[in-house]
Structure 1
Amino acid sequence: MPFKPVYQLTCRYCTSHICARSMKAILLADTRIELFSTDTPGQGIQLLEKDYLTRTCHCRIRDVACLGCGNVVGYHVVSPCSPCLRSCNNGHFWMFHSDACKPVERKDNSGIATLLWSSLPRPDRDFCFLLGGTIPYSKLCR
């Protein structure tokens, strides 16, 4: 995980900002499914109302929609099941569908190299995340 690039995500349907700190991931229950995961979602999403169970385990999940257009862009693992918690995972419980998001690699402070998870600040010190996309990334978060 430390050498994985950090991605900013926008909604593929309306281009609203949905996440400033995500990484490419593979669904543990079906390794053919690629998505993006994060430890802390952006402010451009909302949890939908009902939890449901996955088909492959007993995790309770809830869909996540873009605030800009209302389309479902991912899900949140509201209550992970014991086997999933014991399995190899990165601790990210917010998932975004790769076909619903447009990823852009975040740049480090130099503005040239790709920011890696090993260099990513904690969420409370990550200015891109804290600003919630209100300042254009081209000016602040390269």
Structure 2
Amino acid sequence: MPSPPTSPLPSATALASPFRGPSHSPSVHPQFRNKVVCILTCRHCQTAICHRGMKAILLGDTRVELYSTDTPPSQVQLVDKDYVTRNCRCKIRDVACLTCGNIVGYHVTQPCDTCLEACNNGHFWMFLSQEISCSERLGKNSQILLWGQLPPKEKDAAENHNDLYRWLVSRPAEPSR
């Protein structure tokens, strides 16, 4: 398993609004309703990590692109201890893929006041773009699904198992690196 990043990452909330409710069309801030929903897989072993991903940029360094989600992914595990980022006072902890053990991102375990007050999307599970592969999620009508069309997290988790399985079975294999 690779070692965690040598320098702590800046606070990891994606640019967005400070929205605090379930992610479905009426409640998603207008800034995010047209963002594509992503299926995120581990780049190392192709394990499906998340079916509610969003492409984002780091608040602390807007040159850094990553992915985020609003639900705790079932295919990752928190590792090591919390640490404080270098650009703010957020506490974060690395997350590793349960299948291969590689660090694929981190969880903001305690956001700082500065980041909570900034424009953010309320997501606290972050994935590093160099560790994750991204595919567009399709809705029931086989059209690209947007965040404004997502059902609430609880309903989406129950409905999406069959859709995720069909996606995994039908997707082309990625070339080995």
Give the one of 30, 49, 55 matched to 2:80.
49
8 A contact 1:42–1:132 mirrored in 2: no
Higher Cα Rg: structure 1 or 2?
2
8 A contact 2:68–2:125 mirrored in 1: yes
**How high is the TM-score relative to the length of structure 1?**
0.90
**How high is the TM-score relative to the length of structure 2?**
0.73
Correspondence for 1:77: 108
Give the one of 106, 130, 134 matched to 1:99.
130
Q: Amino acid of the residue matched to residue 127 of structure 2? A: F
Over residues 38-80 of structure 1, what are the superposed CA-to-partner deviations in whole Å (9 max), with x where a residue is unaligned? 1013211111130000000000000010001000000000000
Q: More strand by proportion, 1 or 2? A: 1
8 A contact 1:4–1:23 mirrored in 2: yes
- In 2, the alpha carbon distance for the partners of 1:14 and 1:25 equals 23
Q: 3-state SS of the aligned residue for 2:81?
A: strand
- In 1, the alpha carbon distance for the partners of 2:105 and 2:122 equals 16
The 3 A distance-change label for structure 1 pair 128 and 114 is farther
- Which runs of 5 or more structure 1 residues have no equivalent in the other structure? none
Q: How does 1:99-118 map to 2 (within 5 A)?
A: 99-111=130-142, 113-118=143-148
* Alpha-carbon offset, residue 22 of structure 1: 0.6
Q: 3-state SS of the aligned residue for 1:118?
A: helix
- Which runs of 5 or more structure 2 residues have no equivalent in the other structure? 1-31, 171-177
Q: Amino acid of the residue matched to residue 149 of structure 2? A: S
Moved more, 129-138 or 75-84: 129-138
Q: 3-state SS of the aligned residue for 2:100?
A: coil
Count residues with an aligned counterpart.
139
Q: 3-state SS of the aligned residue for 1:50?
A: coil
- In 2, the alpha carbon distance for the partners of 1:97 and 1:78 equals 17
- In 1, the alpha carbon distance for the partners of 2:59 and 2:168 equals 34
- In 2, the alpha carbon distance for the partners of 1:82 and 1:13 equals 35
Does residue 30 of structure 1 match 2:29?
no
The 3 A distance-change label for structure 1 pair 133 and 55 is farther
Over residues 3-56 of structure 1, what are the superposed CA-to-partner deviations in whole Å (9 max), with x where a residue is unaligned? 000000110000011111010000000000000011013211111130000000
Percent identity over the alignment is 52
Correspondence for 1:125: 155
8 A contact 1:65–1:71 mirrored in 2: yes
Does residue 3 of structure 1 match 2:34?
yes
Q: CA RMSD for the aligned pairs?
A: 2.1
